Every structure is written in C-alpha cells, then in structure tokens.
Amino acid sequence: MTKTTHEVRHITSSIERHVDEVYAFVAEPQNLPKWATGLGDDFHKEGEDWIATGVLGRVRVRFCAKNGFGVVDHDVTLPSGAVTHNALRVVPNGAGSEVVFTVVRADDVDDAAFEADAAHVQKDLAALKALLEKR
C-alpha cells in the first residue's frame, strides 16, 4: 500500500486573551511580521496576495477569507513554484484561546529540518503569546 499521508506536528500555544481578539490579530496579514519570523520582514500586499522577502527568498502568501471559525490558513508559494499549505487555527480555550499551527513534513524533508521547522513555529507562537498577553 502506498502511503498518501505525511507526518504532522500540531504546535500549540495557550493565550490569555479572548478568542475574538486573538483571531482578529492573527487574521490581519500585516500583523504577521510582528510575531512570525519565517517569511521575512519585508511584507507587503500585491493584488490579492502578500509578498514576503526573507530567508526563503521572495515568496507569495495567500490567506483564506476571514471567517467565524478561527481559520487563518494560508498558502505560501516559494520561488521554485512549490506551494505549501499552512493550517493555522485560533480556537476557544476557556476564557482564552489556543493557537494551533500544523507543521506537515514534506517528502524531501529530513528529520533535522522537520525538527527545526517545528521549533521555529513554536518560537513564533511563543512570540505571539508574549505580544498579545502584554497588551
């Protein structure tokens, strides 16, 4: 039987802020560079997409429409043309929130790179938590 799924890791962070406040912040693309460092600092809108320039080169980011379900999924198109789907959710956790980012391991990613990717996402979610809880 051919394997059709990939290894995933769900990286989470509990944030002591109401889910609506966290979602509103996370769902605004221009806030991304304030807490997520993976795409780079130069982040601007170009048509329906956002363009980021950083360690991955010049990438195109397209976010899903704002919604009432806490979904902030976004596709990142790399310079090679490869597209990575990023699942990001903000869900209620008591009076606060849980932010969940699903890291999917691509076929060509070794153990060290997968661990580094997961660690980077954890660092970004910790930065988001610190930023929102100090407000």
Residue 18: other Cβ atoms inside 10 A: 13
The domain limits of the chain are 8-133
What is the value of pTM for the model shown?
0.92
Asked if residue 2 has pLDDT above 80, the reply is: no
Quick one: average pLDDT of 25-38?
A: 94
CATH topology of domain 8-133: Alpha-D-Glucose-1,6-Bisphosphate; Chain A, domain 4 (3.30.530)
Q: What's the pLDDT band for 110 if we cut at 50, 70, 90?
A: very high
Asked if residue 56 has pLDDT above 90, the reply is: no
Angle in degrees, CA 104, 106, 38, rounded to 5: 65
Asked if residue 126 has pLDDT above 80, the reply is: yes
User: Across all residues in the chain, what is the average pLDDT?
Assistant: 94
pLDDT in the model for residue 107:
87
Quick one: average pLDDT of 54-59?
A: 89
pLDDT in the model for residue 22:
98
Using the 8-state DSSP alphabet, how is residue 99 labeled?
E
Asked if residue 3 has pLDDT above 90, the reply is: no
Contact partners, residue 31, CB within 8 Å, separation at least 6? 25
